[in-house]
Amino acid sequence: MANDSTPQNYGSYNITAAQLLLIPELAPQAENGSSVRLVPPTLEHTTTLPDPVLAGGSLPQDLETLEDTYYPITKKMKVSTPPVLPPTPPVSAVGVMDVGQGNCNLLIGQPGAGGTADVFAYYDTGYPLWFYVSSLPPAMRFGGQQYAGPIPNNQANTLRVILSHWDWDHWRLGAIAPLNNLQWTFPNQPIGPAAANFLRTLANANVINAGGPPFGGPGNSTIFSCVPTVNPVPVAMLMNNTGLALSVPIVLPTAEPAIRRVVLTGDANFNSVPLDFGTTLNMTGITAVHHGSNAHGAAQNLRAPAVNIAGRIAYSYGITTNGNHAYGFPVALAVTAYQNAGWTAASSTAQGQNINQAGLAAQANRGNVQMGRNVVLLAAYNNTAFATFPNQLN
Amino acid sequence: MPVVPPNSSYEGVFTVVSEQGSQFEGPLSPSNQYYAFLSKVDLDDTTQLYDVMFEVVAQEWAQNALFSSAVFLSAPPPVSPALIYHIPGIDQNTLVNTLGVTSIDFVAEGSWYLLTFEQAPGGNNSLYHPDIDKQKQS
């Protein structure tokens, strides 16, 4: 059996024994919102408690170390106050980038004198699990002959990353490309050892607690700290619903002069995002929650688009080379729920407007989706996978 | 205030801590036991199967580099020989029984488990290095 650190597949294994050691819970903080903490399980959760916990003793040091260590910020460290950002131009469009089964959105500025626009922020930098890398377009499949990769930085070297939450298919491109030299803003959530290894490579980071007050993001956007509003909170929905969401002011539809809002939530349900009144009334564009999932209320409690406007919705999901939708996304019931809520102008990264249609022909229009103005990016990015937008939601 | 990147003395402490586990720096566990962070759980509505992914470290490495440190610091963990354990399709009952939880409601991303593995040649559940996705594609 090989036992070195060369990246490889070590083969197939089954689980023969399992013991739940720690389970997440939402813990209010005296200041700066809430946080997801890890606590020992009870007999409500598991049939086999760790012995010291069963005996009613204190947490063994092993668990205490796990409980306190695998966070971006531990209990004894302070989370960041929100960063103060330099002024950036209004957003002309939001890119929903084709990264296969994952999420990666891009905030695009106003076109300059040459008629082309620069970019200034990512919201998520996702990449599929290894099992689903065949869902990537060739230009994004690292190590492939056609790999071009994402935009590594903008012209002013101020490109930043806002991470919705610590989910592999939302952060992994940061390690692949890599994008760890950019400034990152992310939520304080429990992380695993692979994510922790990546986290340690970030040169410039801000960490935000769940449920804190909203703060200003790039392009006059507003960043919301998500927190579940259902009581009691199902533990299985905590990680997806304690991250960061983004509300971006934008002219959409472009046929009208009014500035509206595109709301990006990553995998968080809409009722976990404490949206302000102005956003709620003016939403005209969204991304489908959790790639079009229907689990844990992802397609429920949807907000309606602004009055008399067909809502624009972009789905980010991946189809593998054998034709399978990774995780079955988007779920048909979820697609119907969005339509019923008024989000009727839809496009997707995997199939363009042919969402959930069968066959290879339905994938002919796969590619990046642009919500807002149909703007051309600077020629400097022509050699990247993010240069063009075959799908438009204007 | 931004998080300050670790300074040299901070890194030095973790270098020492990491070296305590150097004899176990290989990613595979001699005992087949792993501390496992439940990183992703997704239900495929079309198959009614769950797709489950853990980020794991060998029990021996954790004991030596993480838990047995003479210096306990409330700080981010040292660089670890992490692996990924991926179950691409498992039904609800089997998943609940395998993990020893009382309900699917408690199969929660963010949880930590102690897992024991056995090799299952030809099976679907893979143990692999996370950076396998950085390898040259055929």
Q: At B58, give phi and psi (nearest 5°).
A: -60, 140
Among A35, A46, A142, CA closest to A99? A142
* Residue B107: per-residue pLDDT: 98
Q: Are the Cβ atoms of A295 and B42 closer than 8 angstroms?
A: yes
Q: What is the DSSP string of chain B?
A: -PBPPP-HHHHHHHHHHHHHTGGG-SSS-TTSEEEEEEEEEEEETTTTEEEEEEEEEEHHHIIIIIIS-SS--SSPPPP---EEEEEEEE-HHHHHHHHTBS-GGG--TT-EEEEEEEE-TT-S-EEE-GGGGGSPP-
Q: Across the strands, what pairs with A263?
A: A247, A286
The answer to whether A36 and A238 have CB atoms below 8 angstroms apart is: yes
Q: Are the Cβ atoms of B88 and A131 closer than 8 angstroms?
A: yes
Using 50, 70 and 90 to split pLDDT, how confident is the model at A174? very high
Query: Which residues fall within 8 angstroms of residue A9, CB to CB, at 6 or more apart?
Result: B126, B127, B128, B129, B132
For chain B, the domains span 27-68+76-128
Q: What is the distance between the alpha carbons of residues B56 and B85, in angstroms, rounded to a whole number? A: 7
pLDDT in tens, A310-336: 999 999 999 999 999 999 999 999 999
The answer to whether A360 and A340 have CB atoms below 8 angstroms apart is: no
The answer to whether A393 and A369 have CB atoms below 8 angstroms apart is: yes
Using the predicted structure, report yes or no on whether residue A48 has a pLDDT greater than 50: yes
Q: What is the distance between the alpha carbons of residues A279 and A276, in angstroms, rounded to a whole number? A: 5
* Residue B69: per-residue pLDDT: 65
Exposure of A318 in the CB half-sphere (CA atoms within 13 A) = 29
The chain B residue lying nearest A81, using CA atoms, is: B1
pLDDT in tens, A340-379: 999 999 999 999 999 999 999 999 999 999 999 999 999 9
Q: Give the one of B5, B53, B67 whose C-beta lies nearest to A61's C-beta.
A: B67
Q: Give the one of B5, B53, B114 whose C-beta lies nearest to A129's C-beta.
A: B53
Which residues in chain B have their CB less than 8 angstroms from residue A10's CB? 27-28, 83, 126-129
Distance from CA of B62 to the nearest CA of A (A): 9
Least confident of A83-87, A219-223, B36-40, B49-53: A83-87
Q: Are the Cβ atoms of B116 and A15 closer than 8 angstroms?
A: yes
Q: What is the distance between the alpha carbons of residues A138 and A131, in angstroms, rounded to a whole number? A: 16
Q: Region A215-230: what's the mean pLDDT? A: 91
Mean pLDDT of chain A: 91
Using the predicted structure, report yes or no on whether residue B3 has a pLDDT greater than 70: no
* Residue A53: per-residue pLDDT: 57
Q: Are the Cβ atoms of A8 and B124 closer than 8 angstroms?
A: no
Q: Are the Cβ atoms of B43 and A176 closer than 8 angstroms?
A: no
Q: Would you state the structure tokens that stand for residue A301, as one six-digit string? A: 């409690």
* Residue A34: per-residue pLDDT: 77
Q: Would you state the structure tokens that stand for residue A213, as one six-digit string? A: 């007050």
Which residues in chain B have their CB less than 8 angstroms from residue A74's CB? 74-76
Which residues in chain A have their CB less than 8 angstroms from residue B93's CB? none
Among A256, A188, A206, A223, CA closest to A394? A256
Which residues in chain B have their CB less than 8 angstroms from residue A38's CB? 110-112
pTM confidence score: 0.92
Residue-wise burial string across A101-120, b where 16 or more C-beta atoms lie within 10 A, e elsewhere: bbbbbbbbbebeeeeebbbb
Q: Would you state the structure tokens that stand for residue A375, as one six-digit string? A: 């703007």
Q: Region A135-161: what's the mean pLDDT? A: 97
Q: How many CB pairs under 8 A join A and B?
A: 279
* Residue A4: per-residue pLDDT: 53
Q: Are the Cβ atoms of A193 and B37 closer than 8 angstroms?
A: yes
The chain B residue lying nearest A331, using CA atoms, is: B45
Rounded to two decimals, the ipTM of the complex is 0.94
Q: Region A145-167: what's the mean pLDDT? A: 97
Using 50, 70 and 90 to split pLDDT, how confident is the model at B71? low
Max avg pLDDT among A40-54, A72-86, A297-311: A297-311
Q: Are the Cβ atoms of B82 and A197 closer than 8 angstroms?
A: yes
| Residue bearing the bigger pLDDT, B138 or A119 | A119
Q: Region B9-14: what's the mean pLDDT? A: 51
CA distance to A208, A214, A308, per residue, from A225 (Å)? 8, 6, 29
E strands of A166-203, at which residues?
183-187
Q: Are the Cβ atoms of A10 and B102 closer than 8 angstroms?
A: no
Q: What is the distance between the alpha carbons of residues A250 and A108, in angstroms, rounded to a whole number? A: 10
Using the predicted structure, report yes or no on whether residue B75 has a pLDDT greater than 80: no
Amino acid at A98: D
Q: Are the Cβ atoms of B119 and A240 closer than 8 angstroms?
A: no
Interface test with A, best of B63, B85, B114 (most A CBs within 10 A): B114
Q: Region B8-32: what's the mean pLDDT? A: 65
Interface test with B, best of A1, A8, A13, A230 (most B CBs within 10 A): A13
| Residue bearing the bigger pLDDT, A349 or B68 | A349
Burial class (CB in 10 A: 0-12, 13-18, 19+), A307: exposed
The torsion defined by the Cα of A215, A251, A316 and A220, in degrees rounded to 10, comes to -20
The answer to whether A364 and A319 have CB atoms below 8 angstroms apart is: no
Q: Would you state the structure tokens that stand for residue A109, as one six-digit string? A: 């500025």
Q: Region A14-35: what's the mean pLDDT? A: 85
Q: Is the peptide bond before A178 cis (omega within 30 degrees of 0)?
A: yes
The answer to whether A363 and A390 have CB atoms below 8 angstroms apart is: no
Distance from CA of B11 to the nearest CA of A (A): 11
Among A70, A159, A105, CA closest to A393? A105
